[in-house]
């Protein structure tokens, strides 16, 4: 699998999902990897059932010992399950999700992440995220029991779907991304390697990992913008030839000495840079920026003097 492979070449992505993913600008396998989370749900607290407290957001693991639909007076369905860790039980409820009865039948081992609430006199896990486990309940998880990435979504494409496909794709493609940043730049800016950043932006061990990964990817984006700007400037300089202006230092000094104030060091530095550009054979492209009253006008006036003195408009 290559980063430029069509998205339909990713396992379990058919033509219908490919069409939906276009709305998220995901056309290739690489686009899917660079579709990064905008936040994380913290389900990293894996708790023993004996220690569950109302109001906590926790992850529990156990076996479903009973599950059924219960109907409300309005005709809506509540899915009610009992989950056991072998010693203790807890009630779990979902609302109007009848498919869960088929997805999580009695006997299924699950990891459940959500908030503990009171329901009558019972502690109940309400509308949790769920993930099937192998018998015995021990395995790595991607939807529960950790920092769980939440992605920008579109109709028919949930964060859970994106997590599943990304988790499958990462091991197949991660080494195909070339780290274009030189090692000295990475070390100077304390940046992760690209492969590590792509792994940890999706599945971080903790928030610090996620922040470091985001820092690396943000640096890449700004670095590429700056490189593109430098390339455009170089091409522009090669194509946009201009008149090389003669700088009469005597007249420049006459104007500065006639001012009722002394130029600041910042004004002098800026003036030197502008005059140096005017003395070159290519067009100058600068933005003169400063606070109100900081002295931008007098610096511009000096540039106008040089242009006027060479017979050009100013």
Looking only at the bridges linking them, the beta strands covering 122-133 and 89-95 are parallel
Encoding tokens for residue 269?
């530095």
Domain made up of 45-145: CATH architecture: Beta Barrel (2.40)
pLDDT in tens, 28-75: 999 999 999 999 999 999 998 988 889 999 999 999 999 999 888 877
Q: Of 22-36, 114-128, 134-148, which has the strongest mean pLDDT?
A: 22-36
**Cβ proximity of 150 and 46 under 8 Å:** no
Looking only at the bridges linking them, the beta strands covering 109-119 and 39-42 are unpaired
pLDDT in tens, 259-291: 888 888 999 999 899 888 888 877 777 888 888
Domain locations along the chain: 7-41+148-176, 45-145, 249-309
pLDDT reported for residue 241:
67
pLDDT in tens, 220-264: 999 999 999 888 877 777 776 677 888 888 888 888 889 888 888
pLDDT reported for residue 30:
96
- Flag the least confident range among 8-17, 52-61, 160-169, 271-280: 271-280
pLDDT in tens, 86-124: 889 999 999 999 999 999 999 999 999 999 998 878 899
**Cβ proximity of 111 and 122 under 8 Å:** no
C-alpha closest to that of 20 among 129, 148, 161 = 161
Instruction: Estimate to the nearest angstrom the gap between the alpha carbon of 108 and the chain centroid.
Output: 35
pLDDT reported for residue 145:
94
Q: pLDDT higher for 77 or 139? A: 77
> What is the phi/psi pair of residue 64, to 5°?
-75, 120
**Global confidence as pTM:** 0.75
Read off the pLDDT of each residue in 130-136 and give the average, rounded to a whole number: 89
Distance CA 131, CA 61 (A): 10
The residue assigned the tokens 């029991």 is 145
Produce one character per residue of 222-249: b if its CB has 16 or more CB atoms within 10 Å, e if not. eeeeeeeeeeeeeeebeeeeeeebebee
* E strand spans, 38-189: 39-42, 57-71, 77-84, 89-95, 109-119, 122-133, 147-150
Is the pLDDT score of 295 beyond 90? no
Is the pLDDT score of 172 beyond 70? yes
pLDDT reported for residue 154:
96
Is the pLDDT score of 129 beyond 70? yes
């Amino acid at each position: 699998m290559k980063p430029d492979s069509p998205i339909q070449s990713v396992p379990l992505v058919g033509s219908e999902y490919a069409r939906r993913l276009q709305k998220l600008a995901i056309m290739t396998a690489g686009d899917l990897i660079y579709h990064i989370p905008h936040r994380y749900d913290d389900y990293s607290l894996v708790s023993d059932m004996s220690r569950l407290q109302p109001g906590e957001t926790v992850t529990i693991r156990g076996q479903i010992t009973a599950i059924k639909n219960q109907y409300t007076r309005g005709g809506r369905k509540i899915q009610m399950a009992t989950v056991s860790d072998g010693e203790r039980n807890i009630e779990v409820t979902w609302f109007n999700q009848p498919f869960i009865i088929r997805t999580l039948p009695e006997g299924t081992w699950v990891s459940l992440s959500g908030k503990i609430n009171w329901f009558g006199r019972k502690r109940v896990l309400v509308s949790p995220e769920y993930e099937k486990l192998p018998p015995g309940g021990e395995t790595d998880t991607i939807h529960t029991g950790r920092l769980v990435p939440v992605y920008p979504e579109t109709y028919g494409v949930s964060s859970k779907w994106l997590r599943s496909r990304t988790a499958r794709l990462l091991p197949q493609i991660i080494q195909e991304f070339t780290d274009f940043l030189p090692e000295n730049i990475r070390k100077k800016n304390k940046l992760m390697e690209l492969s590590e950043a792509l792994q940890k932006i999706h599945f971080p061990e903790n928030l610090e990992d996620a922040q470091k990964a985001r820092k690396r990817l943000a640096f890449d984006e700004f670095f590429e913008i700056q490189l593109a700007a430098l390339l455009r400037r170089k091409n522009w300089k090669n194509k946009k030839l201009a008149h090389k202006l003669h700088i009469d230092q005597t007249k420049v000094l006459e104007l500065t000495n006639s001012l009722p104030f002394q130029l600041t060091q910042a004004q002098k530095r800026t003036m030197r840079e502008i005059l140096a550009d005017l003395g070159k054979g290519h067009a100058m492209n600068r933005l003169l920026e400063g606070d109100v009253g900081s002295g931008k006008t007098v610096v511009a006036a000096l540039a106008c003097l040089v242009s006027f003195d060479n017979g050009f408009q100013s």
